[in-house]
Amino acid sequence: MKKKIAILGSTGSIGKSTLDIIKKDKKNFEITFLSANSNYKDLVKQAIDLNAKNALIYNKNYFKKVKFLLRKTKTKVYSGNTSLSKIINKKIDYTMSCIVGLAGLQPTIDAIKISKVVAIANKETIICAWEILSKIIKKYGTKVLPVDSEHYSIMELTKNLNNSDIKEIIITASGGPFLNLPLNKFRNIKPNQAVKHPNWKMGKKISVDSSNMMNKVFELIEAFKFFDFDKKKYKIVIHPQSQVHSIIRFKNGLTKMILYDADMKIPISNTLYGLENKFPNQSKINVTLLNNLTFYDVDKKKFPSIKIIDKILNSGQAAPIIINASNEILVSLFLKGKIGFLDIVNTINNIFKDKDFKKYAKKKLKSVQDIKNIDSWARSKTISITAK
């Protein structure tokens, strides 16, 4: 029987990688649902190529175009914030959640309710709403799997283990495009430099996050939320080759790590197939590469973002929402050339000092609306600070 698959954000890099895997094994998969924000051309092509049963374009301005282009197919077309539960009325096997930003929160909640397995590649959903998500996951008995290479590796390395078994959890970071750039040149970094990641092909926003290591700030918080391990056990280490994704030191004296090529299709295919996975075209072990794997401590003068991790984790349940929202605004302003590269982390530090920060950071999260309210405050506050 074919596995029924939904992909939230199918036109993004993770969505496309997931579909590339499925295309090579069409006989075992049925595409039940695809969604995109505004990239209607790719959405239409995907729906036609894979005979998708349903397609949703969030931007209503493109609904008529998608409807027209799919008129000769059996694909049903939806637009706006139509809930998955109104489109799919039977439990499906697998959903890939890869909508960028907090926009992916409600669709992910909807997916948890109608899916046996949800693979999450949206870190904002976890860092901002895990307290709410975890209750829904438990209620519906859904299996949720992380797709980010670091978190997938932690999951694989710590299966059936407790906090008491583990001494240290190391998340690796490539160091991005500015690892070897002299500190005195950071002030003049331009957007076109920050988006050029040396190892991964990613969107502009996540590439900027990687260039100043804000991505690792969020990944560590995501790991702390997702896994039941002490926050003090996490550490970030620079590993420029991006071959080792996580390292676990155990209290019994052993240390384990997972090594694989910088290819997101590897963790994706493992969440899709489970133990049945047989990843195609595996490259042979490159002994020369293994002999040149390097690891360094993070230079906190170059990457001061790492210093704010403890502030976020110790400021309250809603603090990650505030910092995530602020960072999204700041990265957008940087990409538009309206603020400098160093202004991103400097402004986030000013957010911590705001007189209303503690009030919002300590709020208990009971609903999606609570998250949206805090997110809205953080965005407005960030805009007002940068406007001065």
Q: Which domains does the chain have, with CATH numbers?
A: 3-147 (3.40.50.720), 148-304 (no CATH), 315-388 (1.10.1740.10)
Cα–Cα nearest to 327, from 373, 377, 379: 379
Tokens of 377: 């405050």
Largest CA distance in the chain: 62
For the chain, how many helices (H) and strands (E)? 17, 12
For the chain, where are the alpha helices, taking DSSP H only? 13-23, 40-49, 63-69, 84-87, 105-114, 123-140, 149-157, 191-194, 204-211, 214-226, 265-273, 287-290, 309-313, 319-335, 343-353, 357-361, 368-387
Angle made by CA atoms 114, 11, 4, in degrees to the nearest 5: 30
Instruction: Report which DSSP code applies to 308.
Output: G
Q: Please give the pLDDT value at position 44.
A: 98
Q: What was the pLDDT predicted at 261? A: 83
pLDDT of residue 282: 66
* Count of alpha carbons within 13 angstroms of residue 352, beta-carbon side: 16
* Distance, first Cα to last Cα, the chain: 60
Q: Residue 58 and residue 55: Cα distance in Å, rounded?
A: 10
Write down the pTM of the prediction: 0.91
Distance CA 245, CA 70 (A): 41
pLDDT along the chain (388 residues), means of 10: 95 94 93 97 97 97 96 96 91 95 92 96 92 95 95 95 96 94 96 86 86 95 94 96 95 94 89 78 77 95 96 95 96 96 97 96 94 96 93
Mode of pairing for the β-strands spanning 54-57 and 76-79? parallel
Q: Check if the beta carbon of residue 58 is closer than 8 Å to that of residue 82.
A: no
